[in-house]
Amino acid sequence: MSPKPSVLFVCVHNAGRSQIAAGYLSHLAGDTIEVRSAGSAPANSTNPVVVEAMREEGIDLADQRPKILTTDAVESSDVVITMGCGDVCPVFPGKRYLNWELDDPAGQGLEAVRPIRDEIQRRVEELIAEVLRDE
């Protein structure tokens, strides 16, 4: 039996988009996919508006802390999804890289964050179908 697939979500601060994506992937895929998230310049805490927006979805991100992007995290992931981290993400052969162009929730109110959250949910649902199909 092969190890379960792993996905790494990367954004600059690991406080918004990547936390939303990791939250949805963990919630929707359960333990079928290993989930990681990190940032190239992590913030001190997860964006409180993001935490609130995800709480509306029944997903609690209050205990999540931004993490620094490491070479090991990239190397040990099957799929790496960047969300505005630019060229700082190391590239390894054999990995699948996707770039999701999404608005940044930083400095936005709840009304502006909800559509970002909803778009990330849509993309995560598609990703789950693709990753599990490829297994």
Q: Which of 7, 8, 10, 11 is catalytic?
A: 11
| Measured distance CA(69)–CA(19) in Å, rounded | 13
Question: What contacts 43, CB < 8 A, 6 or more positions away?
Answer: 13, 14, 15, 66
Q: Which member of 8, 89, 124, 128 is catalytic? A: 89
Q: Which tokens sit at 1?
A: 């039996």
Q: Would residue 11 show up in a list of annotated catalytic residues for this protein?
A: yes
Which one of 85, 116, 120, 124 is the catalytic residue? Answer: 85
Tell me how far the alpha carbon of residue 36 is from its chain's centroid.
7
Give yes or no: 85 in active site: yes
Catalytic residues: 11, 85, 89
